[in-house]
Amino acid sequence: MEKPIIKKSLFYIFPGLLIFFYALAAFSGENEGTRNIKKAIVKLNKAQQVKAVIPVPKNIVRANVKYQGGVFFTETRKDKIKRFRCSSCHNNKKVSIQNAAAIAHADIKVVHGGKDKPLSCYTCHSQEDRDFLVAGKESKIDLDHVYDMCGQCHFRQKRDWIGGAHGKRVAYWAGERVVKNCTSCHNPHSPRFEKRWPKTYSVPQK
Ligand code: HEC
Ligand code: HEC
Ligand code: HEC
Ligand code: HEC
């Protein structure tokens, strides 16, 4: 009658001992190195924290697309556009002066899409609601999400922009990912950058 009881208790004792020895091994694993690291760790003191060198921009929106499965942000545009809201003028009231478009938007010259066939205003702007952009029929794109509009034609650059190979990240490499929007850099009406000389020219050393 006794024998099976011993067998049974052995069944529990053996794994128990195994766990005990593992734990022992783990604790004695705290060698000189790990102890020094633990000693060197300083508790966060908020009073001693310094201000960020590059502040995180305030006016940002969450992008409609995912970056490596995660979210990211881009600079807003509407707050930077002088003539926004467009609907403050484009409100279906009849304009009785001639050349009104030239007067109101004289500064806008479209140099985009080739000399012979530049893009028309309504390729990008909604004719029905000027506060929005378009990408084909039935679409309505918020000006802050301009990358969706540019990306219908420049899909390669959009893909690169999502991945970080085109454009520029602002603020930190760590923390929230915030990138410049297409029109933070490109003028949509004349997006090409002219070739330039560097501002400072380093004279070759003799
Ligand atoms: C200060 C008033 C004003 C504001 C603000 C304004 N527009 Fe206009 N816009 C006009 C007038 C006036 C015309 C000419 C009459 C018309 O087409 O309604 C015009 C014409 C246009 C045209 C047609 C141009 C053409 O050559 O046929 C487009 C496109 C346009 N506006 C887009 C915009 C967009 C986009 C915004 C906002 C970012 C905007 N406008 C803001 C006054 C304004
Ligand atoms: C390639 C697409 C595209 C075309 C073509 C285009 N626009 Fe625009 N336009 C934009 C975008 C995008 C913005 C917003 C720019 C920004 O984010 O700063 C804009 C901004 C504007 C603004 C506001 C500018 C300001 O700072 O006040 C006006 C006005 C305007 N467009 C009128 C026109 C007119 C008129 C035409 C045709 C003659 C035209 N656009 C053609 C894409 C386009
Ligand atoms: C409807 C299609 C269309 C849309 C929308 C569009 N583009 Fe373009 N874009 C073109 C075409 C066509 C060209 C001329 C291609 C060329 O010259 O190689 C061009 C040329 C350019 C160039 C110059 C390319 C070069 O090689 O020098 C830039 C930069 C550019 N676009 C940026 C933008 C940006 C930024 C937007 C959004 C604000 C935009 N485009 C929206 C069609 C489009
Ligand atoms: C940080 C600024 C910046 C941002 C943001 C940016 N671009 Fe550009 N882009 C440039 C510069 C600079 C060039 C010129 C590169 C050259 O000449 O080698 C360029 C070139 C281009 C060209 C010409 C072809 C090429 O690849 O060289 C296209 C098209 C273009 N950009 C579209 C876009 C679109 C669409 C977006 C938004 C999704 C965007 N860019 C965002 C700075 C920017």
The predicted pLDDT at position 146 comes to: 97
pLDDT tier for residue 171 given thresholds of 50, 70 and 90: confident
- On whether the CB atoms of residues 25 and 109 are closer than 8 A, the answer is no
**To the nearest 10°, the Cα dihedral for 185, 189, 194, 198?**
-30
Give φ, ψ of 19 to 5 degrees.
Answer: -65, -45
Peptide bond into 169 cis (omega under 30): no
Q: Rounded to whole angstroms, what are the CA distances from 67 to 99, 134, 160, 170?
A: 45, 23, 11, 15
The predicted pLDDT at position 189 comes to: 96
State whether 133 and 168 are in the same domain. yes
- On whether the CB atoms of residues 89 and 129 are closer than 8 A, the answer is no
Q: Answer yes or no: is 199 within a domain.
A: no
Q: Is pLDDT of 1 > 70?
A: no
Distance 137 CA to ligand 1 centre (A): 20
Q: Answer yes or no: is 203 within a domain.
A: no
State whether 78 and 106 are in the same domain. yes
State whether 29 and 95 are in the same domain. no
pLDDT tier for residue 166 given thresholds of 50, 70 and 90: very high
- Measured from CB, residues less than 6 Å from any atom of ligand 2 are 77, 80-83, 105, 108, 110, 112, 119, 121, 123-125, 133, 143, 146, 183, 188-189
Q: Answer yes or no: is 193 within a domain.
A: no
Tens-place pLDDT, residues 38-50: 889 888 888 887 7
State whether 31 and 114 are in the same domain. no
The predicted pLDDT at position 159 comes to: 96
Could you tell me how far CA 60 lies from the centroid of its own chain? Answer: 9
Distance 113 CA to ligand 3 centre (A): 6
Please name which of 153, 155, 125 lies closest in space to residue 139, comparing C-alpha atoms: 125
What count of residues does the chain have?
A: 206
Residue with tokens 């009658």: 1
The predicted pLDDT at position 92 comes to: 85
Distance 104 CA to ligand 1 centre (A): 6
Tens-place pLDDT, residues 110-160: 999 988 888 999 999 999 999 999 998 889 999 999 999 999 999 999 999
Count the domains in the chain.
2
Q: Answer yes or no: is 151 within a domain.
A: yes
State whether 173 and 128 are in the same domain. yes
Residue with tokens 């190979």: 165
Tens-place pLDDT, residues 54-90: 777 789 999 999 988 789 999 999 999 999 999 999 9
Range of the domain at 26: 2-46
State whether 89 and 13 are in the same domain. no
State whether 76 and 172 are in the same domain. yes
State whether 142 and 177 are in the same domain. yes
Residues of the chain above pLDDT 70, percent: 92
Q: From the CA of 179, give the closest atom in ligand 4.
A: 5
Buried b (16+ CB within 10 A) or exposed e, 133-151: bbbeeeeebbbbbbbbbbb
Give φ, ψ of 75 to 5 degrees.
Answer: -65, 140
State whether 86 and 16 are in the same domain. no
Q: Is pLDDT of 2 > 60?
A: no
State whether 20 and 65 are in the same domain. no
pLDDT tier for residue 94 given thresholds of 50, 70 and 90: confident
Q: Answer yes or no: is 166 within a domain.
A: yes
